Structure 1
């Protein structure tokens, strides 16, 4: 009698554990030699994680070796977010392996009924690929479900796949516009509890227990059962991998083309390494990479010059295709502009730099200032009107025309304004001079320092004896002293205009420096050098001409009383005196009578005795 199974409500039991199993098309009946799971604990990935970061549903659960509980939330299955148009999961074997077969444990919730009813429909139409990349399109399709139904799809699926590769990829899809068979879910998910990949743990082996090396020495992957070479080691070709790659090719299947080797015959047929280095402009072992931007030449050891665009520097010889940056010239743009030039193509000429060798070859800036007379960064601007010298820091002097002030050294090219001298017209005229070029001599100023350097005006007046703004005009005749306010004495022949001295002597009758002293009694005339005659009263002798104003002593006659008097003369004089003293007036007849009398007297003078 068979044992009776007791049903327990809501119990979930993996009914497949340790139960007899069946496999269509066994790999090698009775042979379990290919029992190395090369996928165990290898890196895994799935599209659309159910809960990102939650290990309960992580992709790695499908390669952790655990498959005792095939429910979705027990941490042994890789579960993606449901209801998507595509579902992708892959395992990275970390190196290329010779694969024999692949086994997949689908999520069953440990109940065949639930598997058939709920989850199987999401697996229908799945595919399995083996590839050397994560791109399934670049790999080999090991299996594509076109026949399973929810009733025939096995919960544990195995497919033989005699290929080699690094990635095993599970893929399913429900694309819009595609009509799928009955029983297919409208959307898909992963729900993989374990994926096992069996094959050689190392390359180049086959046979029972993976113990036999591939028969062909240069074979990398051979049929895992027969040993027939399925792929040569890199660098070899031919049915038995007995031939090296043709010159210029290398790698797996000789499908790679050698790079820019210096000598293509020295390109490794295995990995493409250029054994004697690269052609100019390329780098790395296989010489397929252009030199980095900014470098060129053999092994890219040369640095590009100052190209206008670094990307336009020839990787081969460094030629700058679009020209040089400012300040450089030549094909390689490594030559600085000649001294005195700068800029693009070195077409610009440096300004008036103090040291032309310190003119920036890039932008023309004068690094050590400008020559005298110029300003600006490039020293090509003349000083403004009225300034000159280094950095135009000097101010022009008193030039007659400021526009003719040299911007270099300040020289006044048309001379100075009145009152200044020197090349730069900054020096006042010397004391005592004035005017244009200081050629004028100051007049008789009271204070020479107070003579205007410009027009000679005496600011504090003139010295004694001079007048006018310039104090160059002597006093008018008859005047002297400060501002010619003093009047000369009338007795001078000529008065000194400064001090009033009678420089040219006195008029007759006067003596002294100022001719203010009459001649002493008894003298007269120029410098009182004449002696008065026999004046009746010497005090009445004119100091000017010596005339005796009150007459002569007896016996003398004449204005000066210096002539001896005879008798007739005495008569005449006595008679004249008589008439004068008595106010006797005589008519014409009487005058004639008197005259006749006098004539008669004169005639007998020689005989008449003087009384």
Structure 2
């Protein structure tokens, strides 16, 4: 069973090899004769119940390359095969399948390479006791052995041979045939017919490619174009076509394409425009022989070519025009005078004169000045050669001054004015907005200052325009701008115009200039806000004490914080300053007059900020020591005091300090007394009137600024800063 499987595997392998082979060596076993049923060693075959020497025969075939001395030993370079038991002693083998279905006659040895033309063949006839035992290694089983070498050409014909060694005969035949699509002496030429993009051909006897009709080339991939198709300028994708390359045209692609727009030209290569005779220009559209081709000149004129498609006509007398198509009217300039009628002739004219005139143009008159021929006051004078001449007055013309001149014919009036002929003169009736003799001046419509409220006037023709200042509008800027037009009031408020301003009447619960704020406690009635007066009127309802108290508390807290900051700053400044000089140190601290000795009294004036005016006398600020005053003012600038109420409480203390100051300053000598300074003692009034220290407050505000003014040199300044 194992041997049969091995044999089947060998046959399948041989069949698979045929797929990739280029040819097949075929060996056909036809007849084997073993006359006595003996082995090769002359021993009798002991093969079962038949005749005493019946040999069950199978064959081993070995095909190898050509050897001068054939060796039966492996390897079998071209292939080998072992047949099943084919018969007993002598038997014949039919073609095709034999006794065993696994065996096919002839035996095939496929080749995957070129057939060399020679081979060596070994055929051994072997005996087996069992069909399953096909071992070939035991020489005792050998019945006969055939070894031969041959030259063999490829072909369908079988080569017959007979091998006889006395006791046995073997008749067989062999050949080598190419596989499908393989051709040639060694089956090395591959050719498979095809009709696709890779070729259009069949195969010849020797494997050469035979192209299908309409195709050419090594692989028959080149179509044969339409007969006559230009090889260089045409091509085709399938037989019988003729497609032109760029720049060529025609059935056979042998006509070049001219330059686009070329009219009377040819080409030898694409995109050329070689002009034909008589034509020129880039597109050969200019007739260089226009006269011959078109004959444009008429009435016997002579035509001359001037090149580039142009020409010139030389007209005969009496004709004009580009092509001499117009006949000249010699009567057009009215050559006949004195009312003579003109008759046009070819290249001439004739005048028919009225009675009393003669000459070529009727220029001669048979009348004289005695006949009074001049009209409209014309002055007559006789000519020496006969006839007369009329000298016409202004406004008249003609041979006899019979024609009245139109003074408006020259359009003397400007800017669309109407001209009126008055006989000896004319009048221009101007359009609105213009003036002058000729209506050349534009009337200044801004001369009357039509723009009100400071508007700027711009003059135009019979009109003007005003550029209004902010707050006014209209043609003359006389209408005030409606401030309520853009709805400045919010939250349902009502807007009222008040001159150049507006007022918002707020709805309940809102306030502010534009009623944009929501009040903490809505009032009971509507609120009116007047931007011009900056006050709020509440109609009805209780006074908002909570809001007022909250505002006062916030202001007081802010003032206390500012005072604390000022005190801290002052303390730091005092620590940095040197000890005070008791008698004139410039760095003494305010309100410290214990050791200060001054020559004069001090005048301190505390004035509200809203009451200050520049009314100081020259003597107060320009004493004998002006330079010292400026230094003194620079050292002690004006101080803003907001808590005037606290200063009023300390008025008595300040007066006592003034008294002590006067006592200390008396020791400075009589020089100070000569200046007229009086000392304040116990409320006495000094001899010279000086402004006392007065604390003045404004009625319209709670907090005011205090200015300390000093008019003398080295005076003590008393001030309190909170």
Using the size of structure 2 for normalisation, the TM-score is 0.25
Higher strand share: 2
